[in-house]
Amino acid sequence: MAITLGSVQLRIMRVLWDEGEATARRITDVLSEQSPIAHSTVQTLLRKLETKRAVAHEQQDRTFFFRALVAESEVTRSAAQDLLARVFQGSISGLVGHLLESEEVSPEEMQRLRQLVNHKTQEASE
Amino acid sequence: MAITLGSVQLRIMRVLWDEGEATARRITDVLSEQSPIAHSTVQTLLRKLETKRAVAHEQQDRTFFFRALVAESEVTRSAAQDLLARVFQGSISGLVGHLLESEEVSPEEMQRLRQLVNHKTQEASE
DNA sequence: GATCGTAGTTTACCACGGTAAATCTCAGAT
DNA sequence: ATCTGAGATTTACCGTGGTAAACTACGATC
């Protein structure tokens, strides 16, 4: 059941995760802040998301209110696992190595990263 | 120029990276070890890879020898960056956090990971 | 009551990855 | 000379993501 979403679908889901529930119109407006998108495009994608059980809607008056059926963590996790398996053949250090080489990483990020790794190391030894 | 490849295309590229150059037949054989794939499928994908300048071929007698035009590091890097941007909005710690939670990580992997992170931290402070 | 706007529905394309059969071509075997 | 096998090429189909116009329905407003 690996839930894989396209980039626009992901942005739609993000609105739902942020706001709990939203109308198609609301989503169109939020997405359009970044780059213009036709309302019917958003509606089509919501439909496709509903088909694959990633969202559901309920009606009030003439308007649909959508909400997410899958958790953000679920989606991001399967995306990360997918990449890890497909591209890095399971090697987390391979993935992280590449990222550290090619991205500008803020000191805060590095801090968080170190904590994550050390925490996990500790866990393993207790 | 983000080179993005599908999973089978990636497996094809891996053969080329491993072997330097290979015929379509050779690639079919290698891929078929894992799961059977029609020769013509491999040829079609090689064609598509050639169209997008990921591979090139040269002819000897009646046979094409393919080689990679893009480096493995280039492809894996752009895949990782793509995921990072699209799904984790740039947060490496977010990505790594998810992976550490959901994957079994061997002690060796953790070791390498710690080294990576500490090394990078050191770099930043010199 | 005609019109306007907004919601949702239908329909249609395009691109890409993957899948593969069908066909063409030609060198080597019989 | 003919057949066979292996290579390459052509053609075709499906699924998914993305894109959006066209159409329908309906409540509110002039």
User: How far does A98 lie from chain B, in Å, by closest CA?
Assistant: 6
Q: Where are the domains of chain A?
A: 1-90, 91-126
Identity of the residue numbered B19: E
The topology (CATH level 3) of B1-90 is Arc Repressor Mutant, subunit A (1.10.10)
pLDDT tens digits, residue range B41-55?
A: 999 999 999 999 999
Q: What is the pLDDT of residues B61-117, one digit of tens each?
A: 999 999 999 999 999 999 999 999 999 999 999 999 999 988 888 999 999 999 999
- Which residues does residue B58 pair with via DSSP β-bridges, in sequence order? B65
Closest CA to A81 of B96, B77, B2: B96
Per-residue pLDDT, B126? 65
Protein CA A3 to sugar C1' D13 (Å)? 25
Place of tokens 């493995």: B72
A110 part of contact set with chain B, CB < 8 Å: yes
Q: Scanning the structure block, which residue is given the tokens 């990360």?
A: A80
Q: Which nucleotide is nearest to A39 (CA to C1')?
A: D20
Q: Are B110 and A88 inside 8 Å of each other by CB?
A: no
Q: Find the residue closest to C17 using CA and C1' atoms.
A: B6
Which of B46, B103, B41 is CA-nearest to residue A84? B103
What's residue A36's pLDDT?
96
Burial per residue of B83-97, b for 16 or more beta-carbon CB atoms within 10 angstroms, e otherwise? bbeebbeeebbbbbb
The CA–CA distances, whole Å, from B118 to A1, A117, B14, B42 equal 36, 10, 30, 42
Question: Taking the mean position of all CA atoms in its chain, how far away is CA A111?
Answer: 23
Q: What is residue A126's predicted lDDT score, i.e. its pLDDT? A: 65
Low-confidence ranges of chain A (pLDDT < 70): 126
Long-range contacts of residues B123-126, Cβ cutoff 8 Å, at least 24 apart: B124/A107, B124/A110
CA distance B60 to chain A (A): 32
Measure the CA–CA gap between A99 and A50, rounded to whole angstroms: 34
pLDDT at position A6, please? 97
Average pLDDT on B2-25 reads 96
- What's the rounded Cα separation, in Å, for the pair A43 and A76? 23
